[in-house]
Structure 1
Amino acid sequence: MQNQSRHIMQLVQSHASAKEANRTVMERSRMVMHVGWQLLPGWVKLNADGARKDTRRVGCGGIIRGSKGEWIG
């Protein structure tokens, strides 16, 4: 019986530790960080995205911008 009680207490402690770790992660994930970079002169940037639906329909799109942020295509 003592062995079972010890096992239950270990499970409770493990659960409490996991709950605390999750709370810490959730607090940290709420921090906002702005990350950016600048394109080298003469280079272009391509942003693309796509999607697929179960009905076998697909779609995609993209945009190309120059090193000064100008829209190219």
Structure 2
Amino acid sequence: MPDIYVTANDAALASGREGLGATKKFAHFALTREGGLVQGTLERPASKRLLTITAQPDSRLRPAARQMCSTRTNF
């Protein structure tokens, strides 16, 4: 993977780039839900789409797995 994309968070950008030498760039992420489908997009700059992922979850996340994730993570 040539670059790691992060949201507008200077700490996330600096932590990998300066500490580990991993190339990071700011990008815009979006998650949308339509019916049973979830679609995620990655744009850089905001008008140029680099990636689209569409998924159809077949089950809910188990409570034990949910505890390991941030409260801001969307499932």
TM band (smaller chain) = under 0.3
Q: TM-score, normalised by structure 2?
A: 0.25
Structure with more strand by fraction: 2
TM-score, normalising length: structure 1: 0.26
Indicate the structure (1 or 2) with the bigger Cα radius of gyration: 1
Higher helix share: 1
